[in-house]
Amino acid sequence: MIMSFRWYGESDPVTIDKIRQIPVVRGIVSALYDVPQGETWPLEKLRDLRAAVEKKGFVLSAIESIPVHENIKLGRPDRDALIDKYRRSIRNMGEAGIPVLCYNFMPVFDWTRSNMAFPLADGSNALSYDDAEILAMDLSNGTEGLPGWSTSYDAAELRGLLDAYRDLSEEGLWENLGYFLEKVIPAAEEAGVKMALHPDDPPWSIFGLPRIIRDEAALDRVLKLADSPNNGLSVCTGSLGAHPRNDLSAIIRKFGSMGRIHFAHVRNVKITGKGSFHESAHPTGSGSLDMHAVMKAYSDTGFSGPMRPDHGRMIWGETGKPGYGLYDRALGAMYLSGLWEALEREKGGHC
């Protein structure tokens, strides 16, 4: 397992030098943040990113993520041209020596929350989600003020996208995902890049949009769309774990034993009702998820890819990008690594 940490580049207040002070972290997860959606990621910029990470003693363990253009998800006429650019980005990743690409197929919105500073009893704050709050949100100004999306849209753009998706069924979205994978997985095989699809967050429909990557059956279907070891998953415990029907240990054991989990996001959430939850500290007992069981499933199935603590609380007065402060994610990395060391020692393995 490669304990990794998300870094948002040179403008990130959580600098790579600060990350170096977390002793268990060996990998960096990052991206190019100045390439417009739908354009090819340049080889030289990917090489420069890898060089910047390696200069500080890390490996660039994954890219998270190259956004999939909405016109690909909608199956519009220009999707082939956009997919060709995506294929070139994958090939450039391979040539730059970057092994894993995390991506998602969520319509319009990436991970979505209704409150970016939900107060917790210990005095910290965390990201939270509530269906009722989402339904009450005003989208008349586009995505302004909404947490968790890969691209900003003004009011007219957002209205056009929402209207377009109303005419697309879940099965239609599945067909468009299958078409995308049919085109890009051969490029990933040639490049030696492992594609890792992230589940929907939260794992149910929001704003009337279809969401399809939300449970074990969906993950199984994804892998069958392109039966290749390069077609794999990013298993996010916080995303899938927000719905009580998802048995995280069973999911990890099933797909981990197949060698199809290429990236692991590990975090905890507290389910507070139907369609509502808030994020919590990583340890078991802080939220609704059993982190020991999660890490044991990864250990038992021999997971060797990148793993990162996902969203953290904002603690000790830290400010900045909600969910991506330094302190709580550093605590999470240490906690998860401690569990991993104990599990590996119990079976006589190497940490």
Task: Sketch the domain layout of the chain as residue ranges.
Answer: 2-344
Class of the CATH domain delimited by 2-344:
alpha beta
Residue 348, pLDDT score = 78
Closest CA to 101 of 169, 177, 192: 192
List the catalytic residues: 198, 236, 265, 310-311, 324
Residues of the chain with pLDDT under 50: none
Residue 142, pLDDT score = 78
Give whole-number Cα distances, 256 to 78, 203, 251, 303, in Å: 36, 20, 8, 7
**pTM of the complete model:** 0.95
Identity (one letter) of the amino acid at 256? Answer: G
Residue 282, pLDDT score = 97
Residue 33, pLDDT score = 93
pLDDT in tens, 204-238: 999 889 999 999 999 999 999 999 999 999 999 99
Residue 149, pLDDT score = 56
Closest CA to 23 of 58, 67, 53, 73: 58
Residue 143, pLDDT score = 75
Tokens of 75: 């199956």
Identity (one letter) of the amino acid at 345? Answer: R
Residue 148, pLDDT score = 56
